[in-house]
Each structure stands twice: as structure tokens, then as C-alpha cells.
Amino acid sequence: MAAKGVAPALTLSSGHQMPAVGLGVWRMEKPAIRNLIHSALRIGYRHLDCAADYQNEAEVGAALAEAFESGLVKREDLFITTKLWNSDHGHVVEACKNSLKKLQLEYLDLYLVHFPVATRHTVGTTSSALGDDGVLDIDTTISLETTWHAMEDLVSMGLVRSIGISNYDIFLTRDCLAYAKIKPAVNQIETHPYFQRYSLVKFCQKHGICVTAHTPLGGSTANTEWFGSVSCLDDPVIKGLAEKYKKTPAQLVLRWGLQRNTVVIPKTSKEERLQENFEIFDFEISGEDMDKIKTIDRNYRTNQPAKFWGIDLYA
């Protein structure tokens, strides 16, 4: 068990270490980013999960630059992730350099293919490229294999230390392993007690791919507002076990994620939640109770891009 205030780290196939608890900046309001990130760093967070599509890389970069300048933290002590957006699959190097410029960094610790789909290239925006029919305008001239080999080039260029995938199912992950010269270090997916995805998680781990849970709390407040989701935090089993361990339901669910050997990156815009989400290293869920949580799986996805794109990538 990690010391209090220190997140354990998982060693990636690239040889680099990734803190097992990070802070996701999705939907983080721009004016609040500086204080939230600085508070997180003071608490002990050393892993930040960003994306071009979140449209706040510049604000995150400014907060990091100030943290480095003030001595709050050193660059080498942080693990920074960002992601390639759908419309940039044919412009991987350009997109990566643009993210680096906004984040004010010389290299990324991890760069992910955000979704396994290439769309019509758009300049200066990450808005989903929809056709006249309101359906995602997919670029059929760019294969995921082509995109991956461009991602591999980023490593040899020294722009990125590790590369990975996001929202890939078993079959797309298997294909990536087949054509990869550098295998994906990470697959970032939705997984939580209501959407446990046992087969995908075990497949990735068997093949040396670290799983990161980008929605580790399931239908938390943010997702319920955004997608109208049911929250696993209200489940009687989760609430009962949280009471048993004298923790909040969110802390219990995050600890469950850690004990599955996955990385968790909860998102919050509340400073008090930053502390709560980090206080998960001082207890351990028993094997019997891990089995209880396994029984509440509903195969229930909360993150539904189909709502906005007119296409279900998971169908």
C-alpha cells in the first residue's frame, strides 16, 4: 500500500512510470483551472489527463508554467497526458506540436488516439465534423494503422515518451497489437462498477497494456448532467461497503479501480473533492467485497458520443 499522500505508480511497457491516480481536466472551467491544478499539485497529484478536444490546454499550460516557475513542482515529477483528436488523424505531428505549444511543454509523457475514428480535417477547432445529414463525417482514406505509425514517429522524434489508444474495444486493440512496431502502452476506456468490462481489461493487461479508467466513478454528477446517466455511487452495495470502510462511495469506487490494477483519473471542479479523491491509499477492499462489487455490473455505458455524432462507435 502506498504511503499516505503518494500515489502508487504502474510501470508501462515503454519503461516509464505512470501514477495510478490522476486528475482529469475534462469540462474544467477555464477560469478555475489555475487554482484547481495548483491545489491538486499541493495535495500530491502528479498525473494530469488532458485532451485537445477539452479546449483548455492553454489554460492548463499556463497553470503548469506558473507551478514550475514558483517551484511548486518540477516538470520531471509530473506525468502529462493529452490526446489526438478525430479530425487530426492525418496531421499527427502537427497536432502533437500544437498541444505541446499550448501546454508549454517540450515533451508529453503520454499521447493517446482519443477515439478510433478519423474525421474530416478541420482547422482551428475540435468541433465534431458532421455532414449535411447530421452524421459524423468519417474520413475513409485514413486507416487506424496509418495513424498509429504516425504516433510511433512522435516517439522517435522525442516529442512523446509513451503512446497509447483510447476507447478501443478488444478487436481494435488486437489489431493495433498486430501492426504496431511500438505497442500501445495504455488503453484509456470507460470502466466502473456498472460497466466493468472484465474481458477487455484482462485482455489489455495480459498483453502489457495498462488500462486507464476515464470515467472511474460511472454516472457521477458531471456525467449525469451531461449524459443523463444512472450513478453507481447510489448503488446499495457501494453505499453499504463505503459505510463499512468508513469512506465515501466515490473513495470506495476509486479504490476498487486501483485494486483491479487500473489507473483512475477522476474529474472534479471542486477543491474539496480533489482531497477526497486522493485519500484512497489508507485502506484495502477485501477479496470478498471485491467479489460483491463484481455482481453489480450492468454493462451500462454512461459516456455516449453517439448522442452528439449521430453514429454509435460501439455498435
* CB distance 26 to 48 below 8 Å: no
Backbone angles phi, psi at 109, to 5 degrees: -75, -35
What 3-state class would DSSP assign to 23?
A: strand
Long-range contacts, 178-184 (Cβ 8 Å, 24+): 179/145, 179/148, 179/149, 180/148, 180/152, 181/149, 181/152, 182/14, 182/152, 182/155, 183/13, 183/207, 183/208, 183/209, 184/209
| 16 assigned to a ligand binding site | no
Catalytic residue (choose from 45, 54, 168, 194): 54
* CB distance 20 to 263 below 8 Å: yes
Amino acid letter, 200: L
* CB distance 174 to 123 below 8 Å: no
Residue 54 a catalytic site member: yes
Q: Catalytic residue positions?
A: 54
The annotation places the binding site at 114
- Residue stretches of the annotated binding site for substrate: 114
